[in-house]
Structure 1
Amino acid sequence: MNREQLFDLANQWFEQKGWKPFPFQAQTWTAFLQGKNGLLNAPTGSGKTYALWIPIVLDYIQKNPDYKTKHKLGLKAIWITPLRALSTEIKQAAERVINDLDLKLTVGIRTGDTSSAERAKQKNKMPDLLITTPESMQLMLASKGYENLFKSCLAIVIDEWHELLGSKRGVQTELALSRLKTIAPAMRIWGISATIGNLHQAMQVLLGPESQQLEKSVMIRAYINKKINVHSIIPDKMDSYPWRGHMGLHLIDEVAQIIKKSRTTLVFTNVRAQCEIWYQALLEKYPEFAGEMAMHHGSISRETRQWVEQAIRDEQLKAVVCTSSLDLGVDFAPVETVIQIGGPKGVARFLQRAGRSGHRPGEESNIYFLATHALELVEASPLRRAVKETVVEDRIPYLNSWDVLVQYLVTLAVSDGFYPKQIYNEVKSTFCYQAMTEDEWQWILNFITRGSQSLQAYDEYKKVEIEDDGKFKVNSRAIALRHRMQIGTIVGDAVMNVKYMGGGYIGNIEEWFISKLKPGDVFIFAGRKLELYRTKNMEVLVRRANPSAKAQHASWMGGRMTLSAQMSELLREELYAANTKKMSAELKALAPVFKRQRKESIVPNDSEFLIETFKTREGYHAIFYPFEGRYVHEALASLLAYRISLLSPITFSLAYNDYGFELLSDKEIDMQQVLDNDLFTPQHLHYDLQQSLNATEMARRKFRDIAVISGLVFTGYPGKVVKTKHLQSSSQLIFEVFKDHEPDNLLLLQAYRETFEHQLEEGRLLLALERIQQQTTVWKQCEKPTPFSFPIITDRLRERLSSETLADRIKRMTASYMK
């Protein structure tokens, strides 16, 4: 068949479904059939799967003219997805095409959820399309004879590439691709990405910065004008002193009305604890939602999550309260409305969530933004603008992730072994390791064979043996088994399975939360009140609690997110607009807050940097407003506290949120001295940060993850997981050994580098200081706290008070400040 006939086949299939291919789909088909690699940039719900699965099918038909009678066995294509939840959906879409075109192709899934029987079957007879995750892909590279499985592969598609790019899972994918390019040189590489700012760099990372694949590559963009309507839920009465503590629950009636009006609504929260609280609150106030509303987050059991996803598709549910577990790709046609509770902190996340509604080509998306406190309303208008102008964040790729490379080399040594010269060239062709030197490579090889300079005396670190012909190979079955069990780069806090005493799995919860409870305590998890019976072998045994029992909500460590760089810039622009006549509806609604703020201080404009000082019963407060996001403020607060302490000895307690940070002390800061000494200078930033932040302690925490990924510490066997505190102490011990005896150890240096680059966002911090240098500092000595400072103060109180007493305390504080 020629290309025209093949396209006719595809177009007829689209017609049967009552659809018409988009230009970007036809462009992708053409490029793929011409043998090109590429990156497809298309919004969620626009038919990305068919853009790439159809040309794979057409290519197969072209190569096998008698495809209806004969079928050539062997793997034809791999589809890598970051989320296991997406695999079923991709399989259904692929099988739809196969069945309608009467093809003999098969589709298989290989993820952490795949049974061992299914895996064994796949090993003997690979499906034609294999849908998998980065971790499962690495596991396959750890199996003997993997080259035979992959050599017939003609295409690999990396779905949701933007999600993998800024993470070590992206590095894992780069390394797997570098190996597959050698095994299957005819293979075409395609990435699919929705929302991302640095598209061209994303393509470089995918294909390798100077590879042949990049030379014959193409970027295809879908120009689909999808209309996204952003509505703000504005409260009738605005607090003059806004605070963050009420989770937005004061607007629960408005949310219930939106749910009642729509076929299906997804209510997105930023964190799991908030998800649990909102689900419970809606059920208590609106019992009629029982049976029509469900909850979905990553800690709930897989069966429950899958049931919820299917129930949305079948229109059995009116509402689902969820977290980012439903952010990606899952195709829910019935979803009419999305509600975002609290600032999403990033434009890409907001767009992704908005795209969940009207998830069909040509349909409009409706998203409601509910601010959890008054000041958060400022974020609504910038989000609307970002949606209109498609201002999206860049994803910063990792460089020189030595821990992932160590894991990968041991993976290859566990399967068929490897020759360093060949693998060096492959690894060097990736974006992550393009700057790796021969010395660094030699260090890594020494590390996996001898356990680095300071661990040479311990046999357990000598994992890989060098055979007579120079091949690097793992010959110990015990080492191979432990390595396979620990493949992956997602290192979370130890999780414990929650089960009923009579059997029945509910989900998993972090060890640190359970460690605070004693038997008989009641907690709310997965929408149920559960009484703790006992913990045993990383299992939490529970029974149903009395519905009227007092209970606390389960909480998770990863509960604080920060504003992205793009989002903070948009937020500053919006806030400065409060001083102009061009005000959005949200800014107009915030009039009482701004009026009060101006009475006590000022609302800064774009050329001003605001500092406020005042005294309360707690001590002397100094509050600074860079509007740069939580993480940057955390670093800035420590930096400034350190620099002030060099002028005169003083101790501070620090507090910060997305808008600013506070230094609280029992004696007054000489602010004039701070200004005269130019303490916001970007000079000596790196050194001062190291001194101020106990960078060693932060690097020590970061090193735990690096130690797990590189296999320096073992996380345990199923059912016998090593407790977090033991992991922490083992990795700390190794950290100290490296720090004292091997300061140039690459994994140790990586821990410091990642602390500064990824946790403290040093690059962003530098830009913030340079911006502050250009602005005029306005120092306001206030009589009492201002509306801008109030969320920071109350946030600190929240650490000490329960929510009931906090609400009462805030009422009293507000009343006294309003006098």
Structure 2
Amino acid sequence: MTAQLLDPVVQHHIVNSLGWPALRPLQEASVEPVLRGNDALLLAPTAGGKTEAAVFPLLSRMTQENWRGLTVLYVCPLRALLNNLEPRLAGYTSWLGRRVGLWHGDTSDSVRRRLLVDRPDILLTTPESLESMLVSTRVTPSQMFGDLRAVVVDEVHAFAGDDRGWHLLAVLERLAEVAGRPVQRIGLSATVGNQEALLNWLQGPARTVRTATVVSPPATAGPPPELELDYVASVPNAATVISALHRGEKRLVFADSRRTVEALAVALRARGTTTFVSHSSLSRDERRQAERAFAEARDCVIVSTSTLELGIDVGDLDRVLQVGAPRTVASLLQRLGRTGRRPGTTRSMLFLATEDDQLLQAAGLLQLWSEGFVEPVVPPPAPRHLVGQQLLALCLQKGRVGGSTWTQSLSGLELATAEEAARISEWMLETGHLDSDSGMLFVGPETERRYGYRHFLELLSAFTADPEFTVLHGRVEVGTVDPLVMTRKVEGPRVLVLGGRPWKVTFIDWKRRRTFVEPTDLPGNSKWSGLGQPLSFALTDAMRRVALGADMPGVSLTRRATERLAVVREDIEPTVSTDTSLVLQHDSGLVRWWTWAGGRANGVLAAALSAVAPGLVDELERYDNRYVKLRGDATAGAVREAVAEARKRFSDDLAGVEPSVSDESLKQLKFADLLPTDLATSTLGRRASDHDGAAKVLRRPVA
């Protein structure tokens, strides 16, 4: 048994302290590659023991190879997940007389000072906190990270899917430079559709020289999960169903917008259901209180956005419900995996659709699940804006960097081409973001003006935080809301909903962006800004197939869902076909090309048609997930001719065609000001494109 390769003390405590008769399959299979120092991707469902699969062999290496100082980083996407892990990892490290530390945005200055003086063996942290330590004048990177040997990236798929992943990879390259050695990288993830590609991405430039291992033992056979789809027509009706179902049990309810979470929580409480709330705009204390109370309670509901999708421990769950539908099968699997953990229980999930589009989306998602489909995790293309961010971060870290050598600190990480990186640094010199002297680059006045506030805090993260008003009840922070809640015209008192409770606004401090509130029984609502995310080709095409009659094997439909789905199918039947895309003139006079290709593929198709047949595509409302909108006299013949010309001019996959980008969209790209305008526009255009999906549409005849 490979478990015998672990340090004897670790083996002893696994049996005697944890009471485990044996390691789980993933843990058993991970021992050898992690002990060898391989880069690795460890895959298992939620609660599959991934943390122990990485930590037990790393603790053994600490002893066997006499590692001293801070040698292991454990990186998570959420502070709450780090808080949840700290006591568990503290127990494991104590077996060997080692220690764990915690450093993130909520860590107090006194704790940080102690960690700098007395470094732990394992540090739990986030990419943003690592960046802040590298650039801080209070931290000497070589002293803090000079002994680093390994990094564990938990929920690595959550990082890889957005710019935080690219930021993390850049920080890891800089840490390896500080340590003066390659650093072992271990990713932990639930099921993904492209395991090898995800591991290669995590390795970064080292993929060409370091051994890598995917560890993904076969899942233990068990009873099939119970998935059910219902149609309830409204959020209040969803609250009625949730409050009546499974009384006496602990229920976790997901909704994919903060506004829906708040409305649902208010409706549940009005029906006498003990309800807790979790989402990103609640204060840290509010979230912790809700999660702690939910973990200790029994007959209750917690309503959450995706913040509780990852592995935060909220105790033993009886049920998971979903209002609406997530956008990926991977999210469905994460949420489903929160149930069925106790012996004798089965994984289960109930979908409650509150409108027709939700019903069709949920049905499409369940169709993909029934087919065994899981999306590949695809990092955002062309992260050129992070080249500018990393150049400034290196200037803050080192004081000055060589104008022609600074990219060596990133070890060839593919954020941009060498030519693009040179253009970006030249642009930053022209705009005053950088200054130079004798070939050395350093932070310029425009960076000081734009990012210098609060020790360059905005420069340390790759994600954009929308400006929001802080909501205070006395001195206690409740959370944050969109400024529009404060500015829109209302009759009578201004009432907002936050934490599942209504609050009456008593005073607005416009200068400090704070609002003071007191509890009320009056009705209210809340709002948060945010751009809607396009659906993928896979999901939108599955919705098309459901409309054509696909039956979601393994999924139960209630009578209401069955009847309503029949109505939806009849309504959209003219827009779908088994093997063609359709151009239809509707009763309203609108003409649409029904592609069912998803928003990004339709963006490419609309741009291609506009390039070869100007005026064919409606310029005001160009496309959505299901169709491209055409001018009022457009015909199928005109679309066929334009498609043929586009394939001739751009090739069958429309290579190089990108959707147009508005000035408003550019504001959503953080650090766009660090890029020449054409590179910023091209970066967003590439990210709004799905050429594979567009090519699949082009292979279908237009009818």
Structure 1 counterpart of 2:59 = 57
- Cα distance in structure 2, aligned partners of 1:539 and 1:596: 45
Cα displacement string for residues 34-61 of structure 1 (whole angstroms, at most 9, x for unaligned residues): 2222121222111111111111211122
| Counterpart contact for 1:400–1:432, Cα < 8 Å | yes
- Cα distance in structure 2, aligned partners of 1:599 and 1:155: 56
Count residues with an aligned counterpart: 686
Cα RMSD after superposing both structures = 3.8
State the SS of the aligned residue for 1:669: coil
- Cα distance in structure 2, aligned partners of 1:600 and 1:143: 57
Cα displacement string for residues 606-655 of structure 1 (whole angstroms, at most 9, x for unaligned residues): 2133444333xxx42334432233455567668768988736xx977638
- Cα distance in structure 1, aligned partners of 2:13 and 2:568: 63
**Quick one: which amino acid aligns to residue 627 of structure 1?**
W
Following TM superposition, by how much is the alpha carbon of 1:444 offset from its aligned partner in structure 2, in angstroms? 4.1
Structure 2 counterpart of 1:28 = 30
Change (3 A) 1:558 1:300: same
Change (3 A) 1:466 1:311: farther
Change (3 A) 1:159 1:584: closer
Q: Give the alignment partner of residue 496 of structure 1, picking from 445, 460, 469.
A: 469
State the SS of the aligned residue for 2:247: helix
| Counterpart contact for 1:80–1:156, Cα < 8 Å | yes
| Counterpart contact for 2:509–2:515, Cα < 8 Å | yes
Structure 1 counterpart of 2:187 = 191
Change (3 A) 1:26 1:775: same
Q: Are 2:136 and 1:138 equivalent residues in the alignment?
A: no
- Cα distance in structure 1, aligned partners of 2:426 and 2:620: 45
| Counterpart contact for 2:261–2:277, Cα < 8 Å | yes
Following TM superposition, by how much is the alpha carbon of 1:673 offset from its aligned partner in structure 2, in angstroms? 5.5
| Counterpart contact for 2:255–2:261, Cα < 8 Å | yes
Pairing 1:761-800 to 2, within 5 Å after superposition: 761-764=689-692, 766-771=694-699, 774-775=700-701, 777=703
Structure 2 counterpart of 1:627 = 596
Following TM superposition, by how much is the alpha carbon of 1:349 offset from its aligned partner in structure 2, in angstroms? 1.2
| Counterpart contact for 1:594–1:603, Cα < 8 Å | no
**Quick one: which amino acid aligns to residue 161 of structure 1?**
V
| Counterpart contact for 1:233–1:254, Cα < 8 Å | no
Structure 2 counterpart of 1:180 = 175
| Counterpart contact for 1:313–1:333, Cα < 8 Å | yes
**Quick one: which amino acid aligns to residue 749 of structure 1?**
D
State the SS of the aligned residue for 1:208: helix
Change (3 A) 1:754 1:514: farther
Following TM superposition, by how much is the alpha carbon of 1:418 offset from its aligned partner in structure 2, in angstroms? 5.7
- Cα distance in structure 1, aligned partners of 2:582 and 2:558: 19
Following TM superposition, by how much is the alpha carbon of 1:677 offset from its aligned partner in structure 2, in angstroms? 3.9
State the SS of the aligned residue for 1:508: strand
State the SS of the aligned residue for 1:32: helix
Structure 2 counterpart of 1:15 = 15
**Quick one: which amino acid aligns to residue 227 of structure 2?**
H
Cα displacement string for residues 498-546 of structure 1 (whole angstroms, at most 9, x for unaligned residues): 113x332110112244332569422222222223332322433233364
Pairing 1:43-122 to 2, within 5 Å after superposition: 43-64=45-66, 74-99=69-94, 101=95, 103-122=96-115
Cα displacement string for residues 271-325 of structure 1 (whole angstroms, at most 9, x for unaligned residues): 10111111112222x12x1xx2111110011001011222232235611011011
Following TM superposition, by how much is the alpha carbon of 1:150 offset from its aligned partner in structure 2, in angstroms? 0.8
| Counterpart contact for 1:91–1:107, Cα < 8 Å | yes
Q: Are 2:671 and 1:706 equivalent residues in the alignment?
A: yes
Structure 2 counterpart of 1:391 = 373
Change (3 A) 1:306 1:598: closer
Pairing 1:368-383 to 2, within 5 Å after superposition: 368-374=350-356, 376-380=358-362, 382-383=364-365
- Cα distance in structure 1, aligned partners of 2:218 and 2:24: 9
Following TM superposition, by how much is the alpha carbon of 1:116 offset from its aligned partner in structure 2, in angstroms? 1.7
| Counterpart contact for 2:38–2:184, Cα < 8 Å | yes
Cα displacement string for residues 676-733 of structure 1 (whole angstroms, at most 9, x for unaligned residues): 6446864467999999975353554345x2246x4xxxxxxxxxxxxxxxxxxxxxxx
Structure 1 counterpart of 2:502 = 529
Q: TM-score, normalised by structure 1?
A: 0.75
State the SS of the aligned residue for 1:108: strand
- Cα distance in structure 1, aligned partners of 2:564 and 2:146: 67
Pairing 1:276-295 to 2, within 5 Å after superposition: 276-284=262-270, 286-287=271-272, 289=273, 292-295=274-277
Change (3 A) 1:590 1:638: farther
Change (3 A) 1:695 1:33: closer
Q: TM-score, normalised by structure 2?
A: 0.86
- Cα distance in structure 2, aligned partners of 1:11 and 1:363: 30
Structure 2 counterpart of 1:654 = 621
**Quick one: which amino acid aligns to residue 47 of structure 1?**
G
Following TM superposition, by how much is the alpha carbon of 1:354 offset from its aligned partner in structure 2, in angstroms? 1.2
- Cα distance in structure 2, aligned partners of 1:383 and 1:428: 40
Change (3 A) 1:426 1:200: farther
Q: Are 2:212 and 1:217 equivalent residues in the alignment?
A: yes
Q: Are 2:166 and 1:171 equivalent residues in the alignment?
A: yes
Q: Give the alignment partner of residue 416 of structure 1, picking from 378, 393, 398.
A: 398
Q: Are 2:299 and 1:332 equivalent residues in the alignment?
A: no
Q: Give the alignment partner of residue 427 of structure 1, picking from 410, 413, 426.
A: 410
Q: Are 2:674 and 1:748 equivalent residues in the alignment?
A: no
Structure 2 counterpart of 1:539 = 513
| Counterpart contact for 1:534–1:541, Cα < 8 Å | yes
- Cα distance in structure 2, aligned partners of 1:644 and 1:422: 46
**Quick one: which amino acid aligns to residue 84 of structure 1?**
R
Gaps of 5+ in 2: none
Cα displacement string for residues 138-159 of structure 1 (whole angstroms, at most 9, x for unaligned residues): 1111135202211111211111
State the SS of the aligned residue for 1:231: strand
- Cα distance in structure 2, aligned partners of 1:496 and 1:688: 44
Change (3 A) 1:199 1:419: same
| Counterpart contact for 2:470–2:481, Cα < 8 Å | yes
Structure 1 stretch displaced more, 166-175 or 482-491: 482-491
**Quick one: which amino acid aligns to residue 695 of structure 1?**
V
Which structure has the larger Rg?
1
Structure 2 counterpart of 1:269 = 255
- Cα distance in structure 2, aligned partners of 1:128 and 1:94: 11
Cα displacement string for residues 435-454 of structure 1 (whole angstroms, at most 9, x for unaligned residues): x22x4444444455xx22xx
Pairing 1:668-747 to 2, within 5 Å after superposition: 669-671=633-635, 674-675=638-639, 677-678=641-642, 682-683=646-647, 695-697=661-663, 700-702=666-668, 705-707=670-672, 710=674, 746-747=675-676
Pairing 1:419-568 to 2, within 5 Å after superposition: 419-420=401-402, 423-433=406-416, 436-437=417-418, 439-448=419-428, 451-452=429-430, 455=431, 461-463=433-435, 465-466=436-437, 472-473=441-442, 482=453, 484-486=456-458, 487-500=460-473, 502-517=474-489, 520-532=493-505, 533-544=507-518, 546-547=520-521, 549-551=522-524, 553-558=525-530, 560-568=532-540
- Cα distance in structure 2, aligned partners of 1:258 and 1:751: 50
Cα displacement string for residues 114-170 of structure 1 (whole angstroms, at most 9, x for unaligned residues): 112222222222211111111111111113520221111121111111111122211
- Cα distance in structure 1, aligned partners of 2:604 and 2:360: 24
**Quick one: which amino acid aligns to residue 55 of structure 2?**
W
- Cα distance in structure 2, aligned partners of 1:402 and 1:361: 49
Change (3 A) 1:210 1:94: closer
| Counterpart contact for 1:38–1:219, Cα < 8 Å | yes
Q: Are 2:200 and 1:204 equivalent residues in the alignment?
A: yes
Structure 1 counterpart of 2:336 = 354
Structure 1 stretch displaced more, 472-481 or 418-427: 472-481
Change (3 A) 1:676 1:623: closer
Q: Give the alignment partner of residue 402 of structure 1, picking from 352, 377, 384.
A: 384
Structure 1 stretch displaced more, 635-644 or 158-167: 635-644
Following TM superposition, by how much is the alpha carbon of 1:111 offset from its aligned partner in structure 2, in angstroms? 0.8
| Counterpart contact for 2:389–2:671, Cα < 8 Å | no
Q: Give the alignment partner of residue 300 of structure 2, picking from 292, 299, 318.
A: 318
